Amino acid sequence: MLVEEFDRHLPTDHINPFWTSTPSDPLTPSSFNPFFNSIQLSTSTSSSPLRPKTKRQRSIEATRAEEVVHRALGLLRAEYGDRVAASNAFPPDISPSDIRSSIANYEVDIATASNKAVCCSCGRLVYIKDLFQVTTEDPLLDLLEGKLDACAKHGDLWDLCSPCHKALRDNKPPRFSAANSVNMILCPHYPSVLEDLTVTEECLIAKAHPVGVILKLRPGGRASPLNYHALRGHFIVIPQDPGPLLQILPSPELHLHHLIKVFWLGDRPPTDTDFKPFLLVRKHNVLAALQYLVCHNHLYRGIAINYHLIDSWSDDFIPPELQDSIICLHDADHHEREGYTVNLSSGNYENDLQAAEDDTLHSGHDVPLMTGSVATDINGERLNPDMHMLHTLVDAAANREHELSSVPSHLLHGNQPSNQRNIPVISYTTHGLATPINHWDDPYYFTAAFPTLFPTGFGGHLDERKVPISLAAFAEWALSHHSRRYTTFINKI
């Protein structure tokens, strides 16, 4: 249309370059076409002028664009109508059958996603979707011959978790399998004499006691329902003196009230019936457990069973020292989760640790703030003067070194002043390495302290292995073991 309007307003004598040159031009042949750049021979018939193709192309493109726009607008109108209809129909009517069906589908999906089974190699509970099933005749299990947990067997098939299956395919012992000295005690082989022992009986058969036990009991032989699955914020660790490995069991020097602290939460006084599920000592069980450990645990081979002490026991009893040390709490125990801050001014002590460090804390002008939560020295039942003594000895040794530096050398050999001779000094002679023995670096100390977890004395986190395992990885494996022996033990602490 623009081209036609343009041509219509041109003067008649104007030369249109899109047209063939006019015959009136004397310089241009009548048959010359500028777009072909050639001279055509004249013919008898006069040819019509060439029109440009741009006009038709533009009209076709405009028509197509208009169709696309109309189609897009139609789609938008239809979508808008659907949205309006959906908004008007929302919320839909939900019938009780719809609710029941949705809940049933949810329960099925959650049960399927959380369904776990046992791995025959490491004994952990893993999701079924991560398990491989291997037949008994499969050569993949040759490396674990005689070391498979029967809890993971279904007919002729064994369940293997992904990490153990991958390790066996690579011809390597799985990290947490018995072939790597981890999952040493399989469920069918666990000794029955070590099952269902009370906290007191476990203390009597252990060679060491690195941890203490706090029991909060309620009427009816029930433990307190307050369980800590996680701790957040500040907490206090009460030091424990584990002592060396015992060679006589039960030890006549063992003080149970130092290892087990019982709190009674009830309106009435406790009775023996309330304590039996937790504190009862059965003479036959203790003797049978010690005899088994002496025969099957290499750490108990040199143990001497104290038959004289065992014979003096009654068949079933609760140790009197535990009964005498029970603390009765008349108030509710939910305040344990609360914390507070105190200003450590002179005489304002939260526990014996702060009291022992009184001189050190207040040597300067700045008085620190201490917080307390979760656990403290309840009712002042625990008094430990060792911390105060150690601080005194350290200060005395430091002062002695300073004073001796100003004393003439001839006075240091038998002619010291009386005030220097009375200064307490700790002296010892070393042979070879001067590093004190650390029980926690002893690979046998940990397994000897928990015979119910390691009945054979093997399988601790410090044992030598083909595939090394860190303490964190070992703890994670123990807490995920299907037998729940390790988690049950932790719940007792």
pLDDT at position 375: 42
Q: Where are the beta strands (DSSP E) in 269-419?
A: 281-282, 304-305, 316-317, 327-329, 339-343, 369-373
Give the three-state DSSP class for 448. Answer: helix
pLDDT at position 403: 54
Enumerate the domain spans of the chain: 100-189, 202-332+441-492
pLDDT at position 371: 44
Determine the residue type at 177: S
Tokens at 79, concatenated:
């979508």
pLDDT at position 442: 77
Evaluate if pTM is beyond 0.85: no
> Averaged in consecutive runs of 10 residues, what is the pLDDT profile of the chain (493 residues)?
46 46 46 48 49 64 85 91 89 86 88 86 91 93 92 93 95 94 90 93 92 81 49 53 79 90 86 89 96 95 93 94 88 49 48 51 46 41 53 64 54 48 54 56 85 93 90 91 81 55
Q: Give the integer Cα–Cα distance in Å for 393 and 370.
A: 25
Exposed, middle or buried: residue 400 (CB in 10 Å: 0-12, 13-18, 19+)? middle
Residue 105 makes CB contacts below 8 A (sequence gap 6+) with: none
Tokens at 484, concatenated:
């729940």
The dihedral formed by the CA atoms of 71, 77, 79 and 84, expressed in degrees to the nearest 10: -170
pLDDT at position 192: 94
pLDDT at position 456: 94
Q: Where are the beta strands (DSSP E) in 200-296?
A: 213-218, 222-223, 248-249, 260-265, 281-282
pLDDT at position 409: 54
Beta strands 153-154 and 222-223, pairing class: unpaired
